[in-house]
A and B are shown apart, each in its own frame.
Chain A
Amino acid sequence: MPLRKFVPALVLVSSLFLGRGAHAAESHPAHTGFQGSLQMGLSYPLGQATAAPGDKLANRYGSQWQPFLLGFGAKVSEHVYVGGYVDATFGSKGRDTEVKSACRDADNNLENDIGCSSFTVRAGLETRYSFTPAQVTDFWLGYGIGPTLASETIKDRVIDRKETTQVTGWEFVRLSAGANFRLTKSFGFGPYILGSLGHYFYETTRVQKVTVYQGRIEDRAWHVWMGLGLRLVVLP
């Protein structure tokens, strides 16, 4: 789903819960101890994959659907959460015209002969600060850091060739913000936005399943993945 179509839906859902928060008769006490979360949303690539001319992140990867982002950790105080995260996103090819042209299935044999896809994986550590942990509506800010991987693949079924290029690196600054509507003592729910700034350091190319190149990226550049979506919190 394009990002711009997703935003009105997010605003609508958020406003419904904001309304509930404002009129809630009671709030739940702030929680400490285990906390888990599940986030779902979209992420969009910005910046450069490498400093090579034309190697924009959006040329390699399309907008990504994030079916899950799992967070697990503990609220070490009423305001501070510390934990880990793991997430995966899936999407299509980027905006590069040569790849777009190669991925176009130009025949009419009703079979998808050329498949193009991309995905990303991340894991790391994060901390969040809750501004109003005992209120029904709790706003928070987060910071995280961790390794990341991004992959793009073209699979040509006609000549039975599969080419995959992966980059791995680190997200040094993973900033997030959101609201948590603490609906019950056990569950909370709310929107979030996320921006992660990082570098890719290594690249690997595989043809079929054989690694045909592996090495450091010499011309590194900054990239950003921007995301937004909805977050379900266990023991908010």
Chain B
Amino acid sequence: MNITSRISLVYGIIASAVACSPPSSAGYTYFALEVTHLATDGDERTSVDECLTMPILLGSRVQHTFRLNQKARLIVETTRDEITLETEGEVEATSTTWSVEQLESQGARSLSLEAEDGSSYELVLSRGCS
């Protein structure tokens, strides 16, 4: 094998290694948030279906606001370590915090909330988004 062939071979190996390497990402954590409204007549309807990307920086905080109905809101605040759920309006008041570690080990957590009109909301937070 002459020198030109050897150089071509080395370049070929490097080029194929580079081309085959998938780009790396920062490795974000995702949680799926689903809220189902259970009406008094038994009717079920999905109120919220969101994929939450957890922040990655120390000190980062992300606030999401979801409307459950005309008079009730769900506020979800995420840091890289925990998720806090709070409600506002005509729905059972709650302030619940789940750690990311807890959610990752258990896979999912759920919470039931009663609305003032007698209906209820079933909230499920699960690891990963489909």
Asked if A pairs with B, the answer is yes
Answer yes or no: A1 CB below 8 A from chain B CBs: no
A193 to chain B, nearest CB (A): 28
Beta-carbon contact of A165 and B24 below 8 Å: no
A 153-203 contacts with B by CB, 8 A: 153-154, 156-159, 161, 163-165, 167, 203
B68 to chain A, nearest CB (A): 20
B-contact bits for A192-236, CB 8 A (1 contact / 0 none): 000000000001010100001101000000000000000000000
Measured between alpha carbons, how far is A109 from B61 in the docked complex, in Å?
A: 32
Residues of B contacting A207 in the complex (Cβ-Cβ under 8 angstroms): 53, 55, 62
Residues of B contacting A24 in the complex (Cβ-Cβ under 8 angstroms): none
Closest to B55 in A: A163
- Contact partner, B58, options A60, A103, A113, A161, Cβ 8 Å: A60
Residues of A contacting B56 in the complex (Cβ-Cβ under 8 angstroms): 98-99, 102, 154, 163
Beta-carbon contact of A114 and B18 below 8 Å: no
Closest to A156 in B: B26
Residues of B contacting A104 in the complex (Cβ-Cβ under 8 angstroms): 24
B-contact bits for A34-48, CB 8 A (1 contact / 0 none): 000000000000000
Closest to A52 in B: B59
Range for the number of chain A residues in contact with chain B: 35 or more
Residues of A contacting B28 in the complex (Cβ-Cβ under 8 angstroms): 156, 159, 161
A 122-174 contacts with B by CB, 8 A: 152-154, 156-159, 161, 163-165, 167
Beta-carbon contact of A205 and B62 below 8 Å: yes
Beta-carbon contact of A114 and B26 below 8 Å: yes
Measured between alpha carbons, how far is A50 from B97 in the docked complex, in Å?
A: 20
Answer yes or no: B105 CB below 8 A from chain A CBs: no
Range for the number of chain B residues in contact with chain A: 20 to 34
Beta-carbon contact of B18 and A108 below 8 Å: yes
Beta-carbon contact of B23 and A103 below 8 Å: no
Beta-carbon contact of B58 and A55 below 8 Å: yes
Beta-carbon contact of A108 and B62 below 8 Å: no
Measured between alpha carbons, how far is A121 from B51 in the docked complex, in Å?
A: 35
Residues of B contacting A12 in the complex (Cβ-Cβ under 8 angstroms): none
Residues of B contacting A157 in the complex (Cβ-Cβ under 8 angstroms): 23
Beta-carbon contact of B24 and A55 below 8 Å: no
B-contact bits for A83-116, CB 8 A (1 contact / 0 none): 0000000000010101101111111111101100
Measured between alpha carbons, how far is A134 from B60 in the docked complex, in Å?
A: 51
Beta-carbon contact of B18 and A49 below 8 Å: no
Measured between alpha carbons, how far is A60 from B56 in the docked complex, in Å?
A: 12
Residues of B contacting A55 in the complex (Cβ-Cβ under 8 angstroms): 58-59
- Contact partner, A158, options B25, B55, B59, B80, Cβ 8 Å: B25
Beta-carbon contact of A59 and B58 below 8 Å: yes
Answer yes or no: A33 CB below 8 A from chain B CBs: no
Answer yes or no: B118 CB below 8 A from chain A CBs: no
Chain A residues close to B by CB (< 8 Å) = 49-50, 54-55, 59-60, 94, 96, 98-99, 101-111, 113-114, 152-154, 156-159, 161, 163-165, 167, 203, 205, 207, 212-213, 215
Chain B residues close to A by CB (< 8 Å) = 17-18, 21-28, 53, 55-64, 77, 80
**Can you offer 5 A-B residue contacts whose CB atoms are under 8 A?**
A94-B58, A98-B56, A157-B23, A158-B26, A205-B55
Nearest first, the 5 A-B pairs at minimum CB distance are: A102-B26, A213-B61, A106-B24, A107-B24, A158-B25
